[in-house]
Structure 1
């Protein structure tokens, strides 16, 4: 059986504050929110790969790590290294990748890896 990852979600305590952070710091664009009258969930535009979303849930922190492939990891590093908490600075790994990791407002780790 072939399996393809289609969707990942990080839990946050404040949806609106998180949306603003993801848009301002990372340049992500919200493409949907639910329910329409008072959203507690939002997902972001993804050109390819799994959909990344956030959901307001004060009971269950996710505190996971989500890695994103990007075409120019060096450029992205220069744009956001002073806007976010750094977990791992831009580096070349022993296994051949180039990457860095930051933390969002609620402790979720976001890794960015050269595609």
Structure 2
């Protein structure tokens, strides 16, 4: 076996709201969205209910999926409680410029700082309560 890719699938209550957050605030692009009738498109309509989406930025993909939809795919999720105890971490180029771009638009849970291990980082909580860290190696 060879690992090829790692993609986060965030379980979210409102896919449309999450698409807008990741697109308008964090700079991701919508690649695909699936409505509750299993029709796919690459544009959102605010009058439509969506159950799944794929978004990307700079080769990084994330998936957004409703609890009911993922429970249909993987029945074990029916018994799972909401929330996650993890921090999703993205290594980026230009972390301080990105911090300045988003800092007034997001919930910052740790301001931009330099770690003892040589990374400049900041952490946010997204519109669904997920923790996301952004970091760049310092010289």
> TM-score, normalised to structure 2's length?
0.71
Given candidates 53, 68, 74, the residue that maps to 1:42 is: 53
Alignment deviations for residues 42-90 of structure 1 (CA, whole Å, 9 cap, x no partner): 11124335x2111122775343321112110000100111111111111
Query: Are the counterparts in 2 of residues 10 and 62 from structure 1 also a CA contact under 8 Å?
Result: no
> TM-score, normalised to structure 1's length?
0.84
**Are residues 62 and 53 of structure 1, via their aligned partners in 2, closer, same or farther at CA, if it must alter by over 3 Å?**
farther
Residue 101 (str. 1) matches residue 127 (str. 2): no
Q: Which of 62-71 and 15-24 deviates more?
A: 62-71
The alignment partner of 2:50 has SS state of coil
Query: Are the counterparts in 1 of residues 27 and 57 from structure 2 also a CA contact under 8 Å?
Result: no
RMSD after superposition: 2.1
**Are residues 65 and 36 of structure 1, via their aligned partners in 2, closer, same or farther at CA, if it must alter by over 3 Å?**
farther
Runs of 4+ in 1 over 6 A off after TM superposition: none
Structure 2, gaps ≥5 residues long: 41-48, 69-77
Q: 1:109 & 1:22 partners in 2: Cα distance?
A: 13
| Structure having greater relative contact order (Cα 8 Å, sep ≥ 6) | 1
Q: 2:127 & 2:82 partners in 1: Cα distance?
A: 12
Whichever structure has more helix as a proportion of its residues is 2
What is the count of residue pairs matched by the alignment? 114
